[in-house]
């Protein structure tokens, strides 16, 4: 008789990457071969991990099999780009529309409204660009602090033996080291 859901033992594959491009390639292949984005997690920021554990860590390999390690969901490159674009475009749009509306509401000419919208919209876009750069810098710092501790740690939750083998194969194919799996506590039905 096949095991019931409560009798199954779930597992996750783990790998440590030495560069962000190999990590991204592995994640892209995982997503294109049937893994769900919700099954992929990364090590949280150094500060969040140390706060959760109550102590500093030297190497990410100390954390890979610790279930209490703080993790973060995978956020795609496209989503980060959307956020950066939204900051730039949103501040540009709001500034331009608000200025044009204020000029027209106070009896200004169409030319003055256009000029004001262009000037304030440009300033809003500039502010948005600075904020977008901060988002990009934050992500770069997040990656660098993990690389400084020995690599980029990736966990992939697996549903069955087939997914476990496929995850390990993909991680290894994309130059992850210390690739292995560990059991998670069993799910109950």
Q: Phi-psi bin for 86: left (phi > 0), alpha (psi -120 to 50), beta? A: alpha
The confidence score (pLDDT) of residue 25 equals 93
Own/partner contacts of 27-34, CB < 8 Å, gap of 24 or more, are 27/74, 27/154, 29/170, 29/173, 29/174, 30/156, 30/167, 30/170, 33/166, 33/170, 34/163, 34/166
Q: pLDDT tens digits for 131-162?
A: 666 666 666 777 778 778 788 888 899 988 89
Confidence band, pLDDT 50/70/90 cuts, at residue 174: very high
Q: pLDDT per residue over 80-139, tens digit each?
A: 555 556 656 666 666 666 666 666 677 777 676 677 666 666 666 666 666 666 666 666
Higher confidence at residue 140 or residue 26?
26
Are 7 and 164 in contact, with CB atoms under 8 Å apart? no
Q: Looking at residue 2, what is its pLDDT?
A: 47
Q: Which residues pair with 152 in a beta bridge?
A: 17
Q: Between 161-173 and 20-32, two packed helices, what is the crossing angle to 10 degrees?
A: 150
Residue 168 has pLDDT above 90, yes or no: yes
Going by DSSP bridges, is the β-strand pair 152-158/40-43 parallel, antiparallel, or unpaired?
A: antiparallel
Across the chain, mean pLDDT equals: 74
- Report how far residue 166's alpha carbon sits from residue 131's, in angstroms, rounded to the nearest whole number: 39
Fold adopted by 5-61+150-183 = Alpha-Beta Plaits (3.30.70)
Tell me the two tokens of residue 146.
């993990």
- The pLDDT > 70 percentage for the chain reads 54
Q: Is 128 exposed, middle or buried (0-12, 13-18, 19+ CB in 10 A)?
A: buried
Domain residue ranges in the chain: 5-61+150-183, 80-136
């Amino acid at each position: 008789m096949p095991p019931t859901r409560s009798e199954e033992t779930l597992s996750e594959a783990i790998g440590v990457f030495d560069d962000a491009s190999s990590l991204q390639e592995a994640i892209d292949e995982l997503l294109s071969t049937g893994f769900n984005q919700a099954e992929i997690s990364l090590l949280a920021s150094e500060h969040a991990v140390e706060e959760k554990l109550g102590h500093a860590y030297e190497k990410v390999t100390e954390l890979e099999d610790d279930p209490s390690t703080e993790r973060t969901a995978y956020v795609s490159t496209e989503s980060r780009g959307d956020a950066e674009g939204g900051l730039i475009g949103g501040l540009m749009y709001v500034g331009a529309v608000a200025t044009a509306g204020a000029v027209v509401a106070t009896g200004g000419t169409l030319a003055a409204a256009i000029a004001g919208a262009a000037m304030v919209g440009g300033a809003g876009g500039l502010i948005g660009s600075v904020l977008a750069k901060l988002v990009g810098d934050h992500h770069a710092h997040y990656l660098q602090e993990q690389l400084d501790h020995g690599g980029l740690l990736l966990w992939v939750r697996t549903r069955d033996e087939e997914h476990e083998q496929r995850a390990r194969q993909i991680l290894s194919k994309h130059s992850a080291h210390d690739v292995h799996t560990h059991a998670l506590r069993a799910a109950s039905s």
